[in-house]
Amino acid sequence: MPAGLWAALGPLLWACGLALQGGMLYPQESPSRERKELDGLWSFRADFSENRRQGFEGQWYRTPLRESGPTLDMPVPSSFNDVSQDRQLRSFVGWVWYEREVTLPQRWTQDLGTRVVLRIGSAHYYAIVWVNGVHVAEHEGGHLPFEADISKLVQSGPLSSCRITIAINNTLTPHTLPPGTILHKTDISKYPKGYFVQDTNFDFFNYAGLHRPVLLYTTPTTYIDDITITTGVDQDTGLVDYQVFVQGSEYFQLEVCLLDQEGKVVAQGTGGRGQLQVPNAHLWWPYLMHEHPAYLYSLEVRLTAQTAAGAVSDFYTLPVGIRTVAVTGHQFLINGKPFYFHGVNKHEDADIRGRGFDWPLLVKDFNLLRWLGANAFRTSHYPYAEEVMQLCDRYGIVVIDESPGVGIVLVQSYSNESLQHHLEVMEELVRRDKNHPAVVMWSVANEPTSFLKPAGYYFKTLIAHTKALDPSRPVTFVTNSNYEADLGAPYVDVICVNSYYSWYHDYGHLEVIPLHLATEFENWYRTYQKPIIQSEYGAGSVAGFHQDPPLMFSEEYQKGLLEQYHLVLDQKRKDYVVGELIWNFADFMTDQSPRRVMGNKKGIFTRQRQPKAAAFLLRERYWKLANETMYHLSAAKSQCLENSPFSF
């Protein structure tokens, strides 16, 4: 649907339950559903041919990949870049090929009442998928899941195994998200013939590969395709509006049942949509805002259908947090109470794995967040793994959920083609993350050059579209203090602003920060009268570099810069500043450049997750902020703050 029409019709479609058809429920086991994880070693081959098309010309998907030439063992999930000793593979641009043979349970291949789905958590950037040499899916975008129903293929013959081939291209163009450009270096007196490099305008390494779990799962052929939950509160009663979409048959019954954490049924309903009312509801509160944060109910959905083969049932259980989100002219409210974001910006980034999903790393990161007293993070600069969002729901870590709209600086990246793709990405993101109580705001982009002429229409449309997709959450885009004529700001609900005072200019002069920052906040607020989040600020430090009086890149300078920001944040948070997110949680890899020392060093933790001095400073601050909030909300000292190193 054209973007303008979407903006106009979206709310109506939502109200009629017609928006966002086609689900992307997280695959889970249930009495009617099975899962088979395909993590582990895959066969891998990069296509180093000059035009990168040898794999297609030689149809590498037709026969086992090893028959096409030498293959490598490649772990999944992982980026391919940092696992080998091959310098050329690290910076490879073009098509790489992954392949895996899978043995399937007999029932999956023989029971025609079973639907078998292949799901790829993320393949960066463009992916084409074949099963037994047959094309089953194509997907653009490296940070969101996609699926293919492969039942017919695996149920058509005597085979109890299948061969999955995935070709992935990491090339970024002005119309991809994030955008990039391929630079052809044509001076053959200086570069080899056909030489090209990938150029980007963002500050992280363009890791590529199968970054998140790949799995097969089953459902019955009549199945629960999607569930949409929105929640509200009326005095002590929690309101859970639900819509359930079914595929495969028009003749079915639906029962929904909401259970509390003790397993007690607190509300029940029937049919595809309705409202459940929960008396004396436990609300979903952010970490450190309540003594029992992150309360999750379970919504059990049961489908029964009559099919030619007899009665079929499907079961799906969705965690549900009951909470409200609202924005006023100067506040961000969760459950009607002022919420102050004190947290971090992250990256999905680590040694060796690159952007590959890794449970130990994830759990370590959440333990560090809780140690720090952080109550929020922004998924800078792309959607994170679904498992990350699930942990945020469980721990009460509030999320600003960002699209991969980063590095939008070229005029071509504001074309209709780009806008159309950006709208589709927002649809995929909302479809995937709409039911997470932790997600309190969508961020459509980071630091686009919004002074370019077409940017006004682009952002107006994009933000309207996102609000139409999900009227229950505010929308922002993240701007930079340098971009004065900011065309996106009139349309957003919250102004998110990044600044790097005394880092990218006024080098070494920490004393100028308070005036710069206060002036900037006042200007934004005077112009727009919207709450403001300091969505990035920070300084680079090389762990172990010490210098006092502080010099840039020492741990003391990083700490000193933060302290100057905090002086102003402490004044303005009484008025309209509603949050502060440090740049960055941990050091992370970037492209090589004289401005970067083995990557970006603005982490308060090293890339190996060890604290720098700034981490201790922030820890003290965040726990104090948390204590203030708790005292503000209730006179009683909360249990969860008893562990605080700084409780009063």
Number of residues near ligand GCB (by CB under 6 A): 10
The region that residue 307 occupies, defined by phi over 0 for left and psi between -120 and 50 for alpha, beta otherwise, is beta
Phi, psi of 507 (to 5 degrees): -50, 130
Of 348, 427, 447, 580, the active-site residue reads 447
Cβ distance to ligand GCB smaller for residue 446 or 461: 446
**391 neighbors 437 (Cβ within 8 angstroms):** no
Residue in 109, 600, 627, 644 binding ligand GCB, rule: CB under 6 A = 600
Pairing status of strand 161-169 against strand 95-103: antiparallel
Cβ distance to ligand GCB smaller for residue 284 or 521: 521
- Of the candidates 318, 136, 189, 328, the one whose C-alpha atom is nearest the C-alpha of residue 242 is 318
Residue in 198, 413, 446, 541 binding ligand GCB, rule: CB under 6 A = 446
Residue 379 binds ligand GCB, judged by CB under 6 A: no
Minimum CB separation from ligand GCB for residue 203, in Å?
3
Cβ distance to ligand GCB smaller for residue 201 or 564: 201
Q: Nearest 5°: CA angle at 225, between 223 and 230?
A: 130
- Of the candidates 632, 376, 630, 365, the one whose C-alpha atom is nearest the C-alpha of residue 640 is 630
Within 10 A of 66 (CB to CB), how many other CB atoms are there? 11
Cβ distance to ligand GCB smaller for residue 151 or 479: 479
- Of the candidates 379, 601, 412, the one whose C-alpha atom is nearest the C-alpha of residue 478 is 379
Residue 602 binds ligand GCB, judged by CB under 6 A: yes
Handedness of CA 285, 286, 287, 290 (dihedral sign): negative
Pairing status of strand 35-37 against strand 265-270: unpaired
Minimum CB separation from ligand GCB for residue 381, in Å?
6
**412 neighbors 418 (Cβ within 8 angstroms):** yes
Cβ distance to ligand GCB smaller for residue 461 or 498: 498
Minimum CB separation from ligand GCB for residue 448, in Å?
11
- Of the candidates 400, 212, 215, 243, the one whose C-alpha atom is nearest the C-alpha of residue 318 is 243
Residues between 503 and 542 with contacts to ligand GCB, criterion CB under 6 A: 536
DSSP assignment string, 441-495: EEEEEES--TTSTTHHHHHHHHHHHHHHH-TTS-EEEEEETT--S-SSGGG-SSE
- Of the candidates 429, 464, 398, the one whose C-alpha atom is nearest the C-alpha of residue 142 is 429
Task: Considering only CA atoms, give the Rg of the chain.
Answer: 25
Minimum CB separation from ligand GCB for residue 536, in Å?
5
138 among known catalytic residues = no
Residue 170 binds ligand GCB, judged by CB under 6 A: no
Cβ distance to ligand GCB smaller for residue 201 or 375: 201
Minimum CB separation from ligand GCB for residue 425, in Å?
18
Residue 402 binds ligand GCB, judged by CB under 6 A: no
Cβ distance to ligand GCB smaller for residue 71 or 541: 541
Minimum CB separation from ligand GCB for residue 446, in Å?
5
Residue 587 binds ligand GCB, judged by CB under 6 A: no
**530 neighbors 490 (Cβ within 8 angstroms):** no
Cβ distance to ligand GCB smaller for residue 43 or 446: 446
Residue 583 binds ligand GCB, judged by CB under 6 A: yes
Residue 447 binds ligand GCB, judged by CB under 6 A: yes
Residue 124 binds ligand GCB, judged by CB under 6 A: no
Using CA atoms, how far residue 492 sits from 199, 319, 529, in Å, is 30, 29, 11
Alpha-carbon distance 446 to 88, whole Å?
30
173-212 footprint of ligand GCB as x/- string (CB under 6 A): ------------------------------x---------
Residue in 324, 498, 554, 638 binding ligand GCB, rule: CB under 6 A = 498
Q: What letter represents residue 337's amino acid? A: K
Minimum CB separation from ligand GCB for residue 478, in Å?
7
Q: Nearest 5°: CA angle at 410, between 406 and 416?
A: 85
Minimum CB separation from ligand GCB for residue 553, in Å?
13
Residue 347 binds ligand GCB, judged by CB under 6 A: no
Longest Cα separation, the chain: 80
Cβ distance to ligand GCB smaller for residue 115 or 381: 381
Cβ distance to ligand GCB smaller for residue 45 or 602: 602
Pairing status of strand 439-446 against strand 398-402: parallel
Residue 476 binds ligand GCB, judged by CB under 6 A: no
Minimum CB separation from ligand GCB for residue 202, in Å?
6
How far apart, in Å, do the first and last CA atoms of the chain sit? 56
**168 neighbors 123 (Cβ within 8 angstroms):** yes
Minimum CB separation from ligand GCB for residue 600, in Å?
5
8-state DSSP, 352? T
Q: Of all residues in this chain, which one has the CB nearest to ligand GCB in the complex?
A: 203
Length of the chain: 648
User: Which residues of the shown chain bind ligand GCB in the complex (CB under 6 A)?
Assistant: 203, 381, 446-447, 480, 498, 536, 583, 600, 602
Annotated catalytic residues are 447
